[in-house]
Amino acid sequence: MHQLIAYFKFLLSSTNQYGVHSPFVYDYLTKCLYKKSKYRTGKTEKVLFKSISYFKCKTIWIAPANENLKQKIKKAFPFVEFNAPTYDLIYIGAPHLEEYLDIISNKTHNDAMILIDAIQKNKENMALWESYKQLEISRVTLDMFYCGVIFPRSEQVKEHFKIRI
């Protein structure tokens, strides 16, 4: 029941690319997320795979419990490395702020992307997502109901978007 109510609230407050005033986010939506996909996966995995392709990610960190996802990525993107001093993309299967805070804060760079699954699955995940948004590194955040994205982009003002995908 919680997810249904949360989804209706999300629909009332979210937008598409036309409600976005950031050129970076607009391009990400129109040239990446809203493009037709060749990937036959769930919503969050589509965001992940499309983003890897769009940003040409070379180094990716996947939370340890997602070995199956790591294999899928390696098959689709054989050039991707999973061990590096910094990462272009970090994927966290569900919000665990305390566990992954060090990786998010110290293993990313300005143009990195942090993708977090299931941000609105329950009240605890929603509270953790709110905590992620408050981090110093979180300059641009996108709530897509199924998942959330954080971009460190220090050159941009702190903004939060709710986007329908």
Residue 55: which CATH number?
Answer: 3.40.50
Q: Does the pLDDT of residue 1 top 80, yes or no? A: no
Higher pLDDT, 100 or 89: 89
> Hey, which bits of the chain come out as E strands?
60-62, 87-92, 108-117, 140-143, 147-151, 159-162
Rounded to the nearest angstrom, the gap between the alpha carbon of residue 88 and the centroid of all alpha carbons in its chain is 12
Residue 116 CB neighbours (<10 A): 27
pLDDT tens-digit readout, 10-69: 777 777 776 677 899 999 999 999 998 888 888 999 999 999 999 999 999 998 878 899
Residue range(s) defining the domain that contains residue 75: 2-162
Residue 157 CB neighbours (<10 A): 8
Task: State pTM to two decimals.
Answer: 0.90
Q: Which uninterrupted H or E stretch holds 78?
A: none
Domain count of the chain?
A: 1
Q: Does the pLDDT of residue 110 top 80, yes or no? A: yes
Q: What is the pLDDT of residue 70?
A: 93
